[in-house]
Amino acid sequence: GENVEQHPSTLSVQEGDSAVIKCTYSDSASNYFPWYKQELGKRPQLIIDIRSNVGEKKDQRIAVTLNKTAKHFSLHITETQPEDSAVYFCAASTVTGGGNKLTFGTGTQLKVEL
Amino acid sequence: GAGVSQSPRYKVAKRGQDVALRCDPISGHVSLFWYQQALGQGPEFLTYFQNEAQLDKSGLPSDRFFAERPEGSVSTLKIQRTQQEDSAVYLCASRPREGSDTIYFGEGSWLTVV
């Protein structure tokens, strides 16, 4: 089955700096890569996603890049703010007999310090 | 409703008790997923429904776990003879239709087995 690895597990940046979180996946058939932000005790919330026919996608301060050949994808947050502090999960979607199933990474705890 | 609703939000069970966790997906959503999230980990897939059909239950950890969605809307995840290792957040998610990628999570049911 699919295996998603994510690093770093913790990331501390100064407010205004950029943050980068990287993931790798194992199943070359995976074709959809969402990123979720999860605050303590809250639901995972989709912040950006990318499909395998696109190399890069940007939404204001957030961007995601995908390298299908290397099976890497990354989340980039620019001009970080304290409210960006949360756990971020990458995921890869694999088509099963019953539909797409998300496999998640282990998460990155991002802390934005004043 | 506006989002995926889960109940109870918090459940403390004595080891050996049976528990039932309820999920109300977004109205009209065809697909429904259950995930298990242990403390400090990413969500792990348990099972998937398309309408009332359970098409993938490969992630259920043992035969003590059972899920149903008899009328294709509300779903129940049942855990029999709970054990301490069952302590986790159980997340339900729904998706509008086959062919769409984005899934929407509920706030989760926090289960603690003592």
Per CB distance under 8 Å, which residues of A are interface residues toward B?
A: 4, 6, 32, 34, 36, 42-46, 49, 51, 89, 91, 93, 96-107
Report chain A residues whose CB lies below 8 A from the CB of B58: 96
* pLDDT one-digit tens code per residue, B17-68: 999 999 999 998 999 999 999 998 999 999 999 999 999 999 999 999 999 9
Contact B43, B51 (CB under 8 A): no
Residue A99 has pLDDT above 70, yes or no: no
- Percentage of chain A exceeding pLDDT 70: 96
Interchain pair A43, B91: CB under 8 A: yes
Closest-CA residue of chain A to B48: A98
Residue A100 has pLDDT above 90, yes or no: no
Task: Transcribe chain B into DSSP letters.
Answer: --S-EEE-SEEEE-TT--EEEEEEPPTT--EEEEEEE-TTS--EEEEEEETTEEEE-TT--STTEEEE-TTSS-EEEEESS--GGG-EEEEEEEESSTT----EE---EEEEE-
pLDDT of residue B33: 95
Q: What is the Cα–Cα distance from A16 to B4, expressed in whole angstroms?
A: 34
Write out the two tokens for B19. Answer: 């528990």
Lowest mean pLDDT across A31-45, A80-94, A95-109, B84-98: A95-109
* pLDDT one-digit tens code per residue, B62-110: 999 999 999 999 999 999 999 999 999 999 999 987 667 788 999 999 9
pLDDT of residue A77: 98
pLDDT of residue A94: 73
* Interface mutation target, options A31, A102, A103, A106, chain B, most CBs of B under 10 Å: A102
Considering only CB atoms, B108 lies closest to which of A43, A100, A107, namely: A43
Closest-CA residue of chain A to B107: A43
Contact B66, B82 (CB under 8 A): no
A20 band by pLDDT with thresholds 50, 70 and 90: very high
**For range A53-75, the mean pLDDT:** 95
Q: Which residues pair with B53 in a beta bridge?
A: B50
B8 or B1: which carries more pLDDT confidence? Answer: B8
